[in-house]
């Protein structure tokens, strides 16, 4: 008998924007609209959200990234529908090139799939330390009934086989071959298939009732329940006698975060001891997992800051970021196309933000592949290492004049990092908080969506009173 | 003691501007004709033994692979040796230096240096601005030309208290000068207020802190000093030059209050010419942006480091000031057709030293004029030429 998997730390992330439901309602000539949903600006997506959450969970765990044996990532829409999504995320988090794991995708159930897959690997002894990440950035069909609620976010769990603050316990699954949310090949937007009443009465509530009866028998004290439209969560909770589920606060702040929703809802309950039922739903399946927390899970308290930040975005900005609203005419092509050898040579140093530390004088040269000789002393002996992820702005600009697909204003900053490296990077956001001496953190962001391919790199984010604590 | 192994006996340019109606070849021909016509005792074009052509980027008008053979046919001298010199914004000034070395080596007695640049055949978005997407896919993404200089303005303001008014005073002065140059792109005077109120381009630089995109061409004729009397009794000599490179990326800079390439090039040029900064009577310096001129006049030793903004505001660099800078209107008003820029600056120095600059004539006391460019990724190259009337 092996030990069940245990959670030693968690982390959460949300994108920079919040879209008020009233903006969406107004665009379609409707009155009202309750609440808000988190939305990715053009430089964030499921991969950058996953990296943000994973690094926070790993920081809370106190573990080095290179001892992680595997990454289990769940998302309904991997950034490369077919491609190196898992490998890119592993490199960005700084995992060993020998690490394993799996990418679970295809529906919003994939978040809970990733958790179960990692838990089984740990319980079976094939992974000693497993990293679970669930992230999503739902792109709803314009004008659909759930458009106001379609959100984005990420949650990460670090699992081991001992010494965790919480233990993964019983699980229950029910499958039904019904469509719920649907997206076909070549489709960007997720659509609703069914009449809302049909979905509620014949698909969602029967499944929840069936699953809930099994879980309720386990003396559950907290719930993370799905809420696909802003009302069904409350209906399910009522059916189960669950009161107000812990997940309600996450839905209120971020909307429906798809595959990330069950794990984000769990984090909301894991900052205190208790027994939490974590329910994932989607793709014709529902799965509940019981988590027994002996004590508050490290990192869970950071959720409040994630939910509390973000700036209000207009519907128009959101449509631009989602590529639904596009400029007429040609956009300027990246001189280095995605298929360039430069991005093969540079893959590790760009995703891992590597520098070449000169063995003779200590100067850190970035990026390594364009520095066969040290810029300070001319030596050619280097040690490759990730640069520090925190620093101070030495000087900066805010570029207002660029052709499409660039969006102004765009901040660019020369940053002195804590390890002495000097880098120049784009700044996330509109640059309005930039100043000389400002503290910044380096975060993975999507630099471009070039010829249909995402290109990732690091940007600087300016620390504000809201973000200082979590970093 | 100045080097003086090469003489400049002619120089001319076409009127700079948005020359939609002229081809690259027509611009080259016009500049060559102007240079030929400028020679005091007349000049037979067939005397040209070799040409050095500066064109920085053919891609701005759809020419991927322009080379040394582009110009001779256009100017009616097909068959002569011709070499293209490309060295970023200093391409024209470096072509001049290379041409001077060709004469000084004794290989050629009469050399043409010609700079030609067609920058407005493509729309703004597809022209220079497209460099936002050039270079490294991450580390230089979004790096349009102002991004190469605006970080220096931000830091110069922070360290020395330089203000936007001080930056604006450079634009005001150069527009004043340009309004007195028949060949300038812009011929309108502006006020500090105009500059301050112009649209933001790349904070802290606004539209009138930036040079325009300009079509243009300029040419000079270099000869062996032994043969100078055939062409003029009023020659100008190449007193010296200096070139230096610096790391190409901004994050590799140690300082954002000066351009190291300029400092090093200046040291070399002054040494070769045997002069001190205080002996320079007037200078044409690289003012692609207002902050660039402020950095230049400090890096060239005309004013103390950190005092460039104040000196500009107080008129020290005006035509009537202590050290007249960019009497031609500079890149800001005359325009910046890249390959032609350095050559046109040489022409202005040549006119000033010969007392032919008319309304914008500076007082020539010591007989030295300095020409300077800086550019390339991260201002990684600077070229300086010093001219003199002293034999």
pLDDT score for B354: 98
Q: From A78, A15, A20, select the one nearest A42 (Cα to Cα).
A: A15
| B209 vs A131: CA distance, rounded Å | 51
Measured between beta carbons, the chain B residues lying within 8 angstroms of A431 are 203
Least confident of A159-163, B63-67, B354-358: B63-67
Query: Of B125, B151, B199, which is closest to A395 when you measure between CB atoms?
Result: B151
Q: What is the DSSP string of B313-363?
A: HTTTTSTTSSS-B-TT-HHHHT---HHHHHHHHHHHHHHHHTT--GGGPPP
A470 or B301, greater pLDDT: B301
- The domains of chain B, with CATH numbers, are 7-123+211-388 (3.40.47.10)
pLDDT score for A178: 85
3-state secondary structure at position B157: helix
Q: Is A383 on the interface with B (CB under 8 A)?
A: no
Q: Do A403 and B143 touch (CB under 8 A)?
A: no
Q: At what angle do helices B150-160 and B290-299 cross, to 10 degrees?
A: 60
Q: Is B200 on the interface with A (CB under 8 A)?
A: yes
- If you ran DSSP here, which 8-state letter would residue A204 be given? I
Helix (H) or strand (E) holding A48: helix A46-61
Same fold, A6-321 and A341-468: no
| Residue in A closest to B133 by C-alpha | A334
Mean pLDDT within B288-293: 98
Q: Is A375 on the interface with B (CB under 8 A)?
A: yes
| A458 vs A415: CA distance, rounded Å | 12
The model's pLDDT over B8-22, given as tens digits with 9 standing for 90+, comes to: 999 999 999 999 999
Q: Do B125 and A366 touch (CB under 8 A)?
A: no
Sort B271 into a burial class: Cβ within 10 Å, 0-12 / 13-18 / 19+: exposed
pLDDT score for A32: 82
N-to-C CA span, chain B = 10
Q: Do A363 and B253 touch, CB atoms closer than 8 A?
A: no
| B94 vs B339: CA distance, rounded Å | 10
Query: Of A335, A422, A458, which is closest to B133 when you measure between CB atoms?
Result: A335
Q: What is the DSSP string of B264-311?
A: HHHHHHHHHHT--GGG--EEE---SBHHHHHHHHHHTTSS-TT-HHHH
Q: Where are the domains of chain A?
A: 6-321, 341-468
The CA radius of gyration of chain A, in Å to the nearest whole number, is 22
Low-confidence ranges of chain A (pLDDT < 70): 1-2, 465-471
Q: Is A323 on the interface with B (CB under 8 A)?
A: no
pLDDT score for B274: 98
| B385 vs B362: CA distance, rounded Å | 18
B 78-137 residues inside an 8 A Cβ radius of A: 124-126, 129-130, 132-137
The model's pLDDT over A261-299, given as tens digits with 9 standing for 90+, comes to: 999 999 999 999 999 999 999 999 999 999 999 999 999
3-state secondary structure at position A463: coil
- If you ran DSSP here, which 8-state letter would residue B384 be given? E
Q: Do B327 and B357 touch, CB atoms closer than 8 A?
A: yes
Least confident of B137-141, B167-171, B226-230, B361-365: B137-141
Percent of chain B residues topping a pLDDT of 90: 92
| A410 vs B140: CA distance, rounded Å | 13
DSSP H helical ranges for A217-328: 232-240, 248-254, 261-269, 303-308, 315-321
Query: Of A330, A370, A414, which is closest to B151 when you measure between CB atoms?
Result: A414
Helix (H) or strand (E) holding A442: strand A439-450
pLDDT score for A194: 82
The model's pLDDT over A97-154, given as tens digits with 9 standing for 90+, comes to: 999 999 999 999 999 999 999 999 999 999 999 999 999 999 998 888 889 999 999 9
| Nearest CA distance, B259 vs chain A (angstrom) | 15
pLDDT score for A434: 97
**A341-468 is classed CATH 2.40.50.840:** yes
Extract the tokens encoding B271: 């040494």
| Nearest CA distance, B59 vs chain A (angstrom) | 13
CA distances from A110 to A219, A260, A280 (A): 26, 9, 8
| Nearest CA distance, A74 vs chain B (angstrom) | 27
Q: From A232, A227, A303, A229, select the one nearest A262 (Cα to Cα).
A: A227
Q: Is A433 on the interface with B (CB under 8 A)?
A: no
Least confident of A203-212, B24-33, B221-230, B295-304: A203-212
Helix (H) or strand (E) holding A287: strand A285-293
B284: pLDDT strictly greater than 60? yes
Torsion of CA A14, A19, A21, A23, to 10 degrees: 180
Whether residue A46 is preceded by a cis peptide bond, meaning omega within 30 degrees of 0, is no
Bridge partners for A181 per DSSP: A192
| A162 vs A362: CA distance, rounded Å | 40
CATH class of A6-321: alpha beta
Q: Do B132 and A426 touch (CB under 8 A)?
A: no
| Nearest CA distance, A134 vs chain B (angstrom) | 26
- Residue B123 makes CB contacts below 8 A (sequence gap 6+) with none
Q: Is B42 on the interface with A (CB under 8 A)?
A: no
pLDDT score for A470: 44
Phi–psi pair at B384, nearest 5 degrees:
-130, 130
Q: Do A141 and A192 touch, CB atoms closer than 8 A?
A: yes
């Amino acid at each position: 008998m092996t030990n069940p998997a245990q959670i030693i730390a968690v982390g959460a992330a949300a994108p920079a924007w919040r879209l008020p439901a009233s903006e969406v309602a107004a665009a379609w000539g409707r009155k009202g609209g309750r609440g808000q949903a988190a939305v990715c600006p053009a430089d964030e997506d499921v991969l950058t959200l996953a990296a943000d959450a994973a690094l926070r969970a790993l920081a809370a765990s106190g573990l080095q990234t290179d001892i992680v044996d595997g990454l289990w990532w769940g998302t309904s829409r991997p950034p490369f529908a077919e491609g190196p999504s898992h490998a890119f995320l592993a490199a960005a988090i700084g995992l060993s090139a020998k690490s394993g794991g799996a990418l679970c995708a295809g529906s919003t159930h994939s978040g809970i799939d990733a958790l179960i897959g990692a838990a089984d690997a740990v319980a079976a002894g094939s992974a000693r330390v497993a990293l679970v990440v669930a992230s999503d950035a739902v792109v709803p069909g314009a004008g659909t009934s759930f458009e106001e609620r379609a959100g984005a976010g990420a949650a990460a769990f670090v699992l081991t086989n001992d010494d965790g603050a919480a233990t993964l316990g019983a699980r229950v699954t029910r499958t039904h071959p019904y469509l719920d949310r649907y997206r076909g090949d070549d489709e960007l937007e997720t659509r609703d298939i069914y009449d809302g009443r049909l979905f509620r009465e014949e698909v969602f509530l029967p499944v929840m009732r069936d699953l809930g009866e099994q879980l309720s028998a386990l003396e559950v004290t907290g719930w993370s329940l799905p809420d696909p439209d802003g009302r069904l969560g409350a209906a399910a909770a009522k059916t189960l006698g669950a009161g107000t589920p812990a997940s309600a606060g996450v839905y209120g702040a971020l909307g429906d975060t798809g595959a990330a929703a069950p794990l984000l809802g769990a984090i909301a309950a894991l900052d205190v001891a208790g027994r939490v039922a974590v329910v994932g739903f989607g793709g014709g399946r529902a799965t509940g997992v019981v988590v027994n927390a002996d004590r508050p899970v490290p990192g869970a308290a950071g959720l409040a800051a994630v939910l509390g930040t973000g700036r209000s975005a207009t519907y128009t900005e959101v449509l631009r970021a989602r590529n639904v609203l596009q400029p007429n005419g040609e956009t300027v092509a990246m001189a280095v196309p995605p298929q360039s050898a430069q991005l093969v040579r540079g893959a590790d140093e760009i995703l891992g933000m590597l520098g070449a530390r000169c063995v003779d004088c200590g100067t850190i040269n970035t990026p390594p592949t364009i520095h066969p000789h040290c810029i300070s002393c001319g030596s050619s002996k280097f040690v490759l290492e990730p640069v520090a992820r925190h620093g101070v702005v030495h000087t900066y600009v805010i570029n207002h004049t660029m052709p499409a697909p660039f969006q102004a204003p765009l901040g660019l900053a020369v940053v002195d990092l804590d390890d002495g490296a000097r880098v120049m990077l784009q700044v996330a956001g509109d640059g309005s908080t930039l100043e000389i001496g400002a503290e910044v953190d380096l975060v993975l962001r999507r630099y471009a969506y070039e010829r249909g391919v995402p290109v990732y790199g690091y940007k600087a984010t300016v620390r504000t009173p809201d973000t200082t604590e979590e970093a | 003691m100045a080097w003086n192994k090469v003489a400049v006996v002619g120089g001319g340019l076409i009127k700079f501007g948005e020359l939609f109606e002229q081809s690259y070849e027509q611009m080259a021909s016009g500049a060559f004709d102007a240079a030929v016509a400028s020679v005091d005792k007349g000049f037979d074009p067939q005397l040209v033994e070799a040409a050095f052509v500066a064109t920085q980027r053919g891609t701005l008008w759809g020419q991927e692979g322009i080379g040394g053979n582009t110009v001779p046919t256009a100017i009616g001298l097909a068959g002569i040796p011709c070499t293209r010199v490309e060295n970023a914004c200093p391409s024209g000034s470096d072509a001049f230096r290379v041409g001077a070395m060709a004469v000084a080596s004794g290989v050629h007695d009469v050399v043409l240096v010609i700079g030609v640049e067609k920058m407005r055949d493509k729309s703004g978005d597809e022209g220079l601005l497209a460099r936002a997407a050039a270079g490294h896919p991450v580390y230089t993404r979004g790096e349009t030309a102002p991004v190469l200089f605006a970080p220096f303005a931000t830091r110069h303001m922070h360290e020395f208290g330089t203000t936007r008014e001080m930056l604006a005073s450079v634009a005001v002065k150069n527009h004043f000068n340009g309004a007195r140059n028949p060949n300038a792109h812009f011929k309108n005077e502006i006020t500090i207020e105009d500059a301050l109120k112009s649209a933001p381009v790349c904070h802290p630089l606004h539209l009138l802190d930036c040079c325009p995109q300009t079509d243009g061409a300029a040419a000079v004729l270099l000869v062996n000093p032994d043969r100078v009397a055939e062409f003029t009794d009023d020659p100008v000599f190449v007193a010296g030059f200096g070139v230096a490179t610096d790391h190409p990326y901004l994050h590799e800079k140690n300082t954002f209050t000066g351009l190291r390439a300029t400092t090093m090039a200046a040291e070399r040029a002054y040494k070769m010419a045997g002069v001190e900064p205080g002996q320079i009577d007037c200078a044409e310096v690289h003012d692609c942006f207002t902050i660039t001129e402020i950095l230049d006049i400090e890096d060239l030793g005309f004013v103390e480091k950190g005092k460039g903004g104040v000196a500009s505001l107080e008129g020290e660099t005006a035509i009537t000031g202590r050290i007249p800078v960019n009497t031609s209107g500079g890149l800001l008003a005359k325009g910046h057709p890249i390959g032609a820029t350095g050559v046109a600056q040489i022409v202005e120095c040549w006119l000033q030293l010969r007392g032919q600059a008319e309304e914008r004539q500076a007082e020539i006391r010591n007989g030295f004029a300095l020409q300077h460019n800086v550019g390339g990724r991260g201002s990684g190259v600077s070229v300086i030429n010093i001219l003199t009337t002293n034999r």
